[in-house]
Chains A and B, each alone.
Chain A
Amino acid sequence: MLLSEKEAKQYTDKILSFVKADDAQVSVSSEKYSHLRFARNAFLTSGNVVEQGANVTVWIDQKRGSSSTSSLEDASLKAMVEEAEEIAIISPVDREYLPTLGPQQYRESSRFAEATANISLKERAQSISEILKESEKSKVISAGFHEARAVSSGFATKNNNFGFEKRTNARLSLTARTVDGASSGYFQRSSVDLAKLDTKRIADESIRKANEGRDPKTIDPGIYTVILEPQAVADLLGSVTIQFDARRAEEGRSPFSEQGGKTKIGQKIFDERINILSDPWNAKVPDSPWAQAGLPAEKIYFVKNGVLENLVYSRFWAKTKDTEPTRGPVNTILESSEPASSMEEMIRSTKRGLIVSRFWYIRTTDPRTASSTGLTRDGVWMVENGKIAYPVSNFRFNQSIVQMLNSGNVEMIGTPERIDDGELLPALKLKEFNFTSQSEAV
């Protein structure tokens, strides 16, 4: 069911053959998806889905129209193009129009595995059943989600560009809760290749966390030193990467804005060890070989040694500002420019602080400082005199992400781990983190 490169090219050629407009970009995709969801130590829902789709954006006299369809029949593709052209004819001029790209060279990014694309139903059922048996044995109640996704997609422009890629992602997340409902542990990891997804580690970690979180103490909210596990860092940084938009910064509506339409590019904004980058060829989080509008993706540092190096310029905004459009981001990587610290070192060096497993329901409260609120979830522990002392109940936090990563607040940076597709993030030890209220939720 997944389209081959040859089939994708045939479809994009066919769609383009229907185009009468001055310019066009078209795409076609196909997907195989399989999931198994479980809860209360039993299977809940499970399904296989195949999907396909095509879409087209056209410009007529610089006026733009888009349409999409889930049918790849000739008549549907032709009707889709006609609809996009009808929309373009009656639309105002697209002031941000730039001609679509001509032929580009893409460096392949290897992120497809047959084992993920052709999952065995019986092997998956057996594998999850073993986790559920282990949960029963460990006296925890488990809920979780196993998924395997395979996508192939191609795109083309009227100016003769063409790109194609196949990708897969397998992921398992697991929440283990003690029978009394007083403690909960969570762990998730993903892999391009289902055969390399470490389901045992995921199960062991979540069950361990649930058992080690029994009988938590309730302590006062306030400012604490924290050790954020990689999952917690991934949860927080998901809400900050969008802040790297150049246009918003130059329009004065970003934490990286400076007065007079300037930005903080070139300024030290974070701890000098922090690098934030996008890299399509990173072996742990390989990603799309193309970025916006089909530009070949590149390895790009947004923050290097704590200095804001790049913001994301769209093709239109780059032309307006007489600069180059940004060839990314396609993924999010945070790493230290110095040797990484282990979790053990972080704990051993902490006189009093909290280990946070995960954050939940994070929402921006002030875009000027990238401040957010949210809650801890599925495991918080007090560290005293270099040792884990006892589990504690959850908190709500209110914290600026920018201040959090400031020089002087970042004490240690761990080894980045792949959390999910496109996320490679380390544990962080931070001097101060602001918890504002208690949460009795488990």
Chain B
Amino acid sequence: MTISRRAFLKTTALALGATAVPSWAHSADLSGLPFPVFDKNALADTALSIAKKLGASYADIRINKYRIESVSTRERQVQSVAKGQNYGFGVRVLVNGTWGFAASPLVTAKEVERVAREAIDIAKANSVFQTKPIVIVDAPKVSGTWKTAMKRDPFDVPINEKTEFLMKLNEAALSVKGVAFVNSSMAWVNEQKFLATSDGSRVEQYVIRGVPNFSVTAVDRAKGDFQTRNALAQGSGMGWEYTSEYDWIGEAKQAGEEAVEKLNAKPIKPGNYDLVLHPSHLFLTIHESVGHSTELDRALLWEANYAGTSFLTPDKTNKLQFGSKIVNFFADRTQIGGLATIGWDDEGVAGQKWDIVKDGRFVGWQTTRSLAPLIGAKTSTGCLHADSWSSVPFPRMPNLSLAPSEEDISTDNLISDVENGIMIRGRGSYSIDQQRYNFQFGGQTFWEIKNGKVTGMLRDVAYQSRTTDFWNACDGLGGKSTYELPGTFNDGKGQPGQSNAVSHGCPSARFRNINVLNTAV
């Protein structure tokens, strides 16, 4: 796709840091089921005072409400429309250097008191055997409200407008001869979060995330073959305007054409190729190889039992040449339209922007208040997040993006300098090892490049590489005109497992001499 979301992202308004509590903050009926009205400050006072009295050196309470709305369809029928809400609170305490957490859906003063005591009991039971007490850095006291920048709240949009949008999208794909199936869906999530900490911070946030999606399949029954082309566009931290400002209908028709074309596309001959990767594909490679490897909790073995550790360790900070000199990665929780864009994290640290890789060198970690002291940092970069009131907040990835070239370089410019290569669009099959060295990525569409020009479609392509080899093989970046901000909606990590939504801005980029295999062989 040539359509960039960047242009309209610039025009969206941001309601940051307002001092007065807005109308939505205490609205009893925002749409759908009514949320009860809580005296959140009084409940917070109860939880925090009990925690302090019973020995907590730090405590926080989150009283959160969530709404979700989803629609799914196939071909010419709506399969399901569902709305849901849930709310509750979680209390986290630090006692004798040991965390305790408890949560409940019963938002009453009596239950808040019970839960605060239970969190203390858990921390105390475990602290008897604690061998490495948790220490947290200070954070400035903050207060205020924050809301996702958007033009139209998707929860104000009638259901029939949503089903009509998906039906049009399906029709566009089905209008292509050879298309047999199309599935489409959309999901919208609204988090209404209240946080109070024992160091005096109190903030409220209203977060919107959405993900339209589709999948088009062409079947060749004579050959017993089928090929699928999924949406290139991804989830976004935008409002309903995302459905009109991006050309979803145009992309659905294009997907139909490409699914049919894939059936007869030329199988890739395995070997080494130069790759030109479109943002709709590259964002996931960034997520897996850069996003996860620069999480400090992984480097310090906190995730060793599940998501894994990292090839990066604190001693490599400011030393390791992560990529070529043109490679600059930055983390940014203030990026408009980002899925991980917030006002404050779940321990009251403000959303911020910082360098991860500068001129190819690894320079920065993703941290929280309890991770920062372990590398001698005085402040957190604000990466603590829980996916629900009932989940323990833990380190999660911010938006982490690849800076575009300062020069006005187009995707065609990058292609023009490739003799034998492949351009890849869209997220496909992806897999990476637990220390983030070895990865394999597929895509949605693959295009042969010969002598500087795209010559036709390929199929069954995946590339394998090693993170630092790959980023050091990057010798070309597109300019701002190629930059997009795709994101992934359900990034799993942690135990108990939690989901995180995060975006990765990037331009088109070129990589030299990468190992490509045929996935059908």
Residue positions of A touching B, CB distance < 8 A: 33, 35-37, 39-53, 55, 64-71, 75-76, 79-80, 83-84, 87, 90-92, 94-96, 121-122, 124-126, 128-129, 132, 141, 143-145, 147, 173-175, 177, 181, 184, 186, 251-253, 257-261, 360-369, 371, 373-375, 377, 394, 396, 398, 436-442
Residue of A nearest to B304 (CB): A143
Residue positions of B touching A, CB distance < 8 A: 32-34, 36, 77-88, 90, 98-106, 118-119, 121-123, 125-132, 158-160, 163, 180-181, 217, 219, 221-222, 224-226, 228, 300-306, 308-309, 311, 390, 392, 394, 429-438, 440, 442, 460, 462, 464, 466, 495-496, 515, 517, 519-520
- On whether A87 and B83 interact (CB within 8 A), knowing A48-B118, A365-B429, the answer reads yes
**B105:A39 contact, CB within 8 angstroms:** no
19 new A-B contacts, CB < 8 A, other than A121-B126, A260-B221, are A47-B90, A49-B102, A49-B390, A50-B106, A79-B33, A87-B83, A90-B160, A91-B81, A141-B301, A143-B301, A177-B304, A252-B226, A259-B224, A361-B431, A366-B460, A375-B438, A396-B431, A441-B435, A442-B309
Partner of B99, one of A45, A258, A396: A45
Rounded to whole Å, the gap between the CB of A119 and the closest CB of chain B is 11
- On whether A71 and B126 interact (CB within 8 A), knowing A37-B495, A43-B98, A64-B81, the answer reads no
**B517:A441 contact, CB within 8 angstroms:** no
**A174:B126 contact, CB within 8 angstroms:** no
A439 to B440 CA separation, bound complex (whole angstroms): 11
A369 to B302 CA separation, bound complex (whole angstroms): 37
Residue of A nearest to B82 (CB): A66
A124 to B519 CA separation, bound complex (whole angstroms): 46
**A440:B103 contact, CB within 8 angstroms:** no
- On whether A121 and B121 interact (CB within 8 A), knowing A39-B304, A177-B301, A361-B431, the answer reads yes
CB neighbours (8 Å) of B308 from chain A are: 360, 377, 441
Partner of B302, one of A48, A50, A143, A365: A143
A290 to B274 CA separation, bound complex (whole angstroms): 53
Q: Identify the 6 closest CB pairs spanning chains A and B, nearest first.
A: A47-B101, A70-B86, A129-B129, A42-B132, A441-B435, A441-B433
**B394:A80 contact, CB within 8 angstroms:** no
CB neighbours (8 Å) of B106 from chain A are: 50
A145 to B181 CA separation, bound complex (whole angstroms): 42
CB neighbours (8 Å) of B460 from chain A are: 366
Rounded to whole Å, the gap between the CB of A384 and the closest CB of chain B is 25
A375 to B434 CA separation, bound complex (whole angstroms): 9
CB neighbours (8 Å) of B122 from chain A are: 46-48, 121
**A83:B131 contact, CB within 8 angstroms:** no
CB neighbours (8 Å) of B86 from chain A are: 53, 68-70
**B81:A87 contact, CB within 8 angstroms:** yes
CB neighbours (8 Å) of B515 from chain A are: 437
**B158:A92 contact, CB within 8 angstroms:** no
CB neighbours (8 Å) of B36 from chain A are: 71
SS of A interface (majority):
strand
- On whether A71 and B77 interact (CB within 8 A), knowing A79-B34, A145-B305, the answer reads no
**B87:A70 contact, CB within 8 angstroms:** yes
A96 to B304 CA separation, bound complex (whole angstroms): 45
Residue of B nearest to A1 (CB): B104
Residue of A nearest to B101 (CB): A47
**A440:B131 contact, CB within 8 angstroms:** no
CB neighbours (8 Å) of A49 from chain B are: 90, 102-104, 390
Partner of A143, one of B85, B104, B305: B305
A47 to B93 CA separation, bound complex (whole angstroms): 10
Partner of B433, one of A65, A257, A375: A375
Rounded to whole Å, the gap between the CB of A135 and the closest CB of chain B is 10
**A145:B306 contact, CB within 8 angstroms:** yes
Rounded to whole Å, the gap between the CB of A264 and the closest CB of chain B is 11
A183 to B33 CA separation, bound complex (whole angstroms): 52
CB neighbours (8 Å) of B34 from chain A are: 75, 79
Partner of B462, one of A40, A253, A365: A365
**B159:A87 contact, CB within 8 angstroms:** yes
**A36:B33 contact, CB within 8 angstroms:** no
**B123:A46 contact, CB within 8 angstroms:** yes
CB neighbours (8 Å) of A374 from chain B are: 431
Rounded to whole Å, the gap between the CB of A206 and the closest CB of chain B is 9
- On whether A46 and B99 interact (CB within 8 A), knowing A437-B438, A441-B438, the answer reads yes
Sample of 11 A–B contacts (CB below 8 Å): A40-B301, A51-B88, A76-B33, A83-B33, A96-B77, A143-B302, A147-B496, A253-B226, A361-B431, A365-B442, A441-B308
Rounded to whole Å, the gap between the CB of B130 and the closest CB of chain A is 5
Rounded to whole Å, the gap between the CB of B43 and the closest CB of chain A is 16
Residue of A nearest to B313 (CB): A181
Rounded to whole Å, the gap between the CB of A397 and the closest CB of chain B is 10
**B102:A173 contact, CB within 8 angstroms:** no
Residue of A nearest to B114 (CB): A50
Most buried by A among B104, B225, B434: B434
CB neighbours (8 Å) of A65 from chain B are: 81-82
- On whether A91 and B105 interact (CB within 8 A), knowing A46-B100, A49-B390, the answer reads no
- On whether A361 and B432 interact (CB within 8 A), knowing A49-B103, A71-B87, the answer reads yes
Rounded to whole Å, the gap between the CB of A259 and the closest CB of chain B is 5
**B159:A90 contact, CB within 8 angstroms:** yes
Rounded to whole Å, the gap between the CB of B189 and the closest CB of chain A is 14
Rounded to whole Å, the gap between the CB of B455 and the closest CB of chain A is 24
Partner of A364, one of B225, B306, B429, B438: B429
CB neighbours (8 Å) of A360 from chain B are: 308, 433-434
CB neighbours (8 Å) of B224 from chain A are: 252, 257-259
CB neighbours (8 Å) of B180 from chain A are: 251-252
CB neighbours (8 Å) of A251 from chain B are: 180-181, 219
Rounded to whole Å, the gap between the CB of A158 and the closest CB of chain B is 18
**B434:A363 contact, CB within 8 angstroms:** no
A360 to B288 CA separation, bound complex (whole angstroms): 14
CB neighbours (8 Å) of A51 from chain B are: 88, 105, 390
- On whether A42 and B131 interact (CB within 8 A), knowing A143-B304, A175-B304, the answer reads yes
Partner of A132, one of B104, B129, B158, B300: B129
A122 to B308 CA separation, bound complex (whole angstroms): 28
Rounded to whole Å, the gap between the CB of A363 and the closest CB of chain B is 5
Rounded to whole Å, the gap between the CB of B430 and the closest CB of chain A is 6
CB neighbours (8 Å) of A70 from chain B are: 85-88, 105
